[in-house]
Amino acid sequence: MDRAVDAANLAANAADLSIWGLFVQADIVVKLVMILLVFASVWVWAIVFEKITSLRRANRAADAFEDRFWSGGSLDDLYEQEGAKPEHPMAAVFGAAMSEWRRSVRVPGIDIAHSNVRDRVDRAMNVTISREMDRMERWMIFLASVGGTAPFVGLFGTVWGIMHSFAAIAGMHNTSLAVVAPGIAEALFATAIGLVAAIPAVLTFNMISTNLARFGGRLEGFATEFGAILSRQSEEHS
């Protein structure tokens, strides 16, 4: 009879070690930690999806724009089509440069070749690149923060849960494995969730940061080439 009761108790404890059981039986502080980490993990994946999608879209738009830019067509026509109301970063850089260039050309009596037009055009492109990259890098700090802090938040939940479990065990005056295991498992579950949130955040942060840096270099390369083209045109204009 006693063996049957012990088997039933062990079965009940085993059922309580399910993921939902670990959450439901955890202390309120540990539950809050788990909920916070789950929301952080979901938000991390939402950011990752948005960044990957936006980078692919920006690269495709840049490819199409560069094809039109190097096709030999009129820069003024391209400005009217895409630069005046840019819909992607490279068009924004082009539009900023062309706007500054056209304003300078329209000034009567100005010697473009010997004025500081090139400096103003370069400054306009650099400011635009910085603004566009800031926009594309939005929420990246969140990925870095989750990657760096989620394991420690989970560890806090684990430490708190273990302290709570030991206090309960001391009150029951029973240190058998069947009594200790559920409380320890609940506490360790918080660390597991912290790692589940942190590992993807770190890996994707490094990957996305590399791709963003590559795209930023692409914009800077285009700005350098376009600045050289405008410089040659200023010499021809003079």
Per-residue pLDDT tens over the stretch 36-69: 999 999 999 999 999 999 999 999 999 999 999 9
Q: Which one-letter DSSP state was computed for residue 86?
A: -
- The Cα–Cα gap between 118 and 15 comes to 73
Mean per-residue pLDDT over the chain, rounded: 84
Question: Is 143 part of a structural domain of the chain?
Answer: yes
Q: How many other β-carbons are positioned within 10 Å of the β-carbon of residue 78?
A: 19
Question: Is 105 part of a structural domain of the chain?
Answer: yes
Q: Which one-letter DSSP state was computed for residue 17?
A: T
Structural domain count, the chain: 1
Interior angle at CA 132, CA 73 and CA 205, nearest 5: 125
Question: Is 16 part of a structural domain of the chain?
Answer: no
What is the domain extent for residue 219? 26-237
Question: Is 14 part of a structural domain of the chain?
Answer: no
Question: Is 110 part of a structural domain of the chain?
Answer: yes
Question: Is 82 part of a structural domain of the chain?
Answer: yes
Q: Which one-letter DSSP state was computed for residue 1?
A: -
Question: Is 11 part of a structural domain of the chain?
Answer: no
Question: Is 190 part of a structural domain of the chain?
Answer: yes
Q: Which residue has the higher pLDDT, 237 or 218?
A: 218
pTM of the model: 0.81
C-alpha 214: how far from chain center: 15
What is the pLDDT confidence band of residue 129, given thresholds at 50, 70 and 90? very high
Which residue has 């009940």 as its token pair? 12
What is the pLDDT confidence band of residue 204, given thresholds at 50, 70 and 90? very high
Averaged pLDDT, 197-203: 95
